[in-house]
Amino acid sequence: MIDQAQALRHLVHSKDLSTARTTRVITVTSGKGGVGKSNFSLNFAMALQNRGYSVLVFDADISFANIDVLLGTPAKYNLIHLLKGEKTIWEIIQIGPSGLQFIAGGSGFQDLVRLSDQELEYFSEQIGKLHGHVDFILFDTGAGLSKETVRFITAAEETIVVTTPEPTSITDAYALIKMLKTMGHDISFRLVVNRVTDDREGVQTADNIRQVASKYLGLEIPVLGFIPDDANVSKAVKRQTPLSIAFPDSQATKGIDSITARFLMEEPKSSSARGLPGFLQRMKRLWS
């Protein structure tokens, strides 16, 4: 495992290096809790990292912030230290297994909506320092449609919706997509179906959402893939170790790996307003 102090020193020293890469901001969300959204976010990040990409996971779940728990890495600093001006962005980034970078969230996001203009500008300026220093920032948002979740999804514009074959999960996922669409937001949705018994069930579940979204919302939602129902997932959670590390050959790990490969094959929607700078512009407008 990479020494945390060494990794953080490297991160701080590298922040002044010139680079041409664009940092993409992706939100991961779900219509309801308990569908495996945070587990997917974490292991999706690990799969991207295994392919040579630099990834930062930002825990944006107000009610159930748990990325640090899933990683088995208690966070020394979190978002609240940044919002209070006590720490810089480089100091609140924590290092988990295999050097995965993450920022712990929790109640700090409730403070985010009450920031003064000066505090919001500082927050934005600090987050902006990450542009070009990571390839992806993944915001693991809360389930459902809280004001904070809507703002993150809207600002990011690229969203992966995680659902399961359960009827309530399907209807809640569609309700989330419909609400965001009817609010007039232009968001690029992609769908992941978790805990499927087989590909047939995954296809059927995805089609239920895609057909209704196409007919009533005029949306074509690509499907990134399916993750098999796998007992190793809960075992990894109990070990507080990412699934891809605890059970690299498990069916769920292979499913996430396949999803990651498909995600990387798709070209992002071209727009000069996308990426981290565009995210920050929209975030400041939404939170002002």
Which residues, including other chains, have CB under 8 Å from residue 66's CB and lie 6 or more apart? 38, 59
User: What six digits make up the tokens of 167?
Assistant: 């009827």
Region of poorest pLDDT, from 16-25, 48-57, 203-212, 252-261: 16-25
Share of the chain above pLDDT 90, in %: 65
Residue 36 and residue 162 in contact, taking contact as beta carbons nearer than 8 Å: yes
DSSP SS3 for 222: coil
Q: Where are the beta strands (DSSP E) in the chain?
A: 24-29, 55-60, 94-95, 101-103, 136-141, 158-163, 188-196, 223-228
Residue type for 227, please? I
- pLDDT attached to residue 18: 39
Residue 226 and residue 202 in contact, taking contact as beta carbons nearer than 8 Å: yes
- What tens digit of pLDDT does each residue of 159-218 get? 999 999 999 999 999 999 999 999 988 899 999 999 999 999 999 999 999 999 999 999
- pLDDT attached to residue 111: 60
More confident site: 109 or 114: 114
- 240: pLDDT strictly greater than 90: yes
Q: 270 phi and psi, to 5 degrees?
A: -70, 125
Residues 61-87: what's their mean pLDDT? 84
Residues 142-160: what's their mean pLDDT? 87
Q: 186-216 burial string, b = 16+ CB within 10 Å, else e?
A: ebbbbbbbbbbeeeebbeebbebbbebbeee
pTM for this predicted structure: 0.90
Q: Which domains does the chain have, with CATH numbers?
A: 21-286 (3.40.50.300)
Which residues, including other chains, have CB under 8 Å from residue 250's CB and lie 6 or more apart? 230, 232, 233, 243
- pLDDT attached to residue 151: 85
CA atoms within 13 A on the CB side of 181: 16
Residue 288 and residue 120 in contact, taking contact as beta carbons nearer than 8 Å: yes
- pLDDT attached to residue 273: 53
Residue type for 26, please? I
**Intra-chain end-to-end CA distance of the chain, in Å:** 41
**pLDDT tier at 112, thresholds 50, 70, 90:** low
133 DSSP assignment: T
Which residues, including other chains, have CB under 8 Å from residue 107's CB and lie 6 or more apart? 62, 80
